[in-house]
Structure 1
Amino acid sequence: MLVKHSKRHDPLGIVQYVLGKPGAEVIGSTLACPDDPHAIAAEIRFSCAASKRLRLTTYHASLAVAPPERLSDALWHQIAQDYLAKMQYGLCPYLVVRHTDADHDHIHIVAGRLDLNRGKRVPDSWDHYKAETAARELEVEYGLTPTLSSWQTERKPPTVGMIRHERETGQPAVKPELQDLIDDLSGQVDSLDEFMDHLEEAGVELSLKPINETTVGLTYHFKGLYFSASQLGRAYTLNGLHQFRGIESPQDSAAVMAWWEQRQRGQESVQVEPELAQVQDEDHGQPESEPEAQAQGKPEREPVPQPKAQDPKPVDVDPALNLREAQPHPAQDAEDRTRKPQRQKRRHRQMER
């Protein structure tokens, strides 16, 4: 059994897709109006409204059996319920639609992502690994023809070193984390430009390099490590993103590189002009002379107020005191008159000697 899944911000688009296919048939649901896309979307939104932090409200999965095997509607519905339970979506509102427009028999499942019993979002850590495990278990439980997992067809499995690292540290390895992140983001976009924007927001840098006339190599930079697309798997190459994820992109190498160069130029052209304060700091705060400021159309600086000269006489002194200081003191005048004859007599004695 092949399984593909993704998480989305809003249910309306994917519900319109699964119900709008020719020959689409609803074979199971817990929703009130399983034939009305807008009613379905409104009910899923309402079921997730209790969580303000739930950003991706909708889970979408497709399950397919290998041709020429075909299952009944009742069996498909039972398999869908078991799959949702294994993925911890058993208590979420869901819709199961069967498609008959392809050679392989398959169904689509759309479900809300808030567990109505616990009032919390369904955990999505390592959900790609859990989805592959659930598919292998369902093959055994229902006697279905075994098929290669997406790890063998689209993504490369964890290495022995990664498994040892996870066992010893309890932390997931970077490569599977990057694969899961790309899988989630690629299920939310339709164009290569949107895919690039989502990668940058998630902290992933993507670089392109031409290999030949028809092939462009992709390199992902995540958490300080570089991974080529071939190291991650077929689904992470430029052709794989188009084939397995439905991301539209130019298929010619020259056209892809022209788009890439144009995108790079567009990002480089966005420059933030320095603020006036920054410019003044770069000029070391040197004040400009008044003629230069007037020539450049800048407003003249206001004159700096100079301190006033202090009055040597106290301002609060009584004027009568000033007049008194100007007049001679009577006692001092009498003393001066007494000492003057005495000084003259001493001078005459000295001359006689």
Structure 2
Amino acid sequence: MIPVIYKKAGFLDTLEYVLGKESTVIIDTNMTGKTPAEFNRQFLTTKYIHKAVKRRCAHLIIAIAHREGYHEHLSDSQYNYVAREYLTDMGYLPKEQTNLPPSQYVVVRHHDRDHEHLHIIASRIRLDGSLVDDSYDYFNCQVSTRRIAAELGLEVTPTTSEAITSRLKQEYGIIAPISPNRSKSIRQINSKHKNPTSKEIIRSKIEEAIKDSPTVSTFIQRLEENNIRVLPKMRGLELLGFTYIHNNIKIAGYQVYKPYSWNKLQSEYGLTYDYKRDIAVLEQAKTKAINCRDNITLPEVTSDLENQLSAENKFWAESILPTIGKIWDLANQTGKIKLMDGGIKLLKGKNYKITIKGEELTISSLQDDREIASYNLEKNTVLAANPIDEDKQYWGKLTHKQSTFTQNKDIEFLS
């Protein structure tokens, strides 16, 4: 199976294209209707829950093998299974152990290119307003389709990286070859940069450096050969992780790519550390990295526990964003938003205030003027999240009540 992912602002054009083919068969959907207009009206209902999202439409394509002398075929029920497994793996449908609601979706089978393939049109906004995380969709979609292919006895097509192949082998016992002709990833295709960023370069060089489960010393030496400095974070004799430096850009390992955090480099890629063996290289690497950074302050490489707390706070901040949008919309309708000096828009509640300056939204506590979360509205990303338990309880209560918000009823924040 070969997956392709597109993301667009609107649904109608994609629906008309996919459903307009003569060979179209709707395999599965959790919506009603049959026409592009009917589906589009239902997709638009989630648009207003999460207005900040620009690319709401996910157009997912899955093709099975078709070449001279080799053709694969699946029944409609098998395609239904493929679609649901894939949507679950990618976060559009909930896994059994989660309580997340689903996204709206339509699954269509085509024969328009002399071979069978699926088109899946799904909303990136779930029915509760939460957003499907697509941070690693290019990685995850390759793992998902190859897992499903192996399960159904189909050809397991080559992957684009050693990391994907390693995960397939370790988690599912699936042997997948690596393509000798690697195409650009969706992230690279959509990148605004003509040249790869330092983050992309570091990630690709780490991928090459870990391919044969090396020692920490060999890992560091390989990166240094590619002009990447490595700053180790130590606690006594314990190695906690690395910060990587390329062209004066400094990035912690878990920020380069979550599967390349220090724990995963050991557990999934077999990187080995021995203090007596590696200490000399670690000390040399630290000296080189410090000399390389000039006067720019390096970000602290946090421990795994701190990383987990940071991820937890980020998830919390993302989960309350739909509620913030509802509060702001109602306040705007009732004239409670004040325009301050410098173009700052201010909304005060009983315990917190919300401000918007340019594309940045910030929530702060009125008691101690403490910032608890900030967002980039244009990119729909969390910039910072530092809540205490009291903040989580208050905003959790508001989020729980969001389904009862109406145009004629004040939200607790505003009362």
What TM-score bracket applies, with the shorter chain setting the length?
0.3 to 0.5
- Using the size of structure 2 for normalisation, the TM-score is 0.39
| Structure number with bigger Rg | 1
Higher normalized strand content (fraction of residues): 2
Higher normalized helix content (fraction of residues): 1
- Using the size of structure 1 for normalisation, the TM-score is 0.45
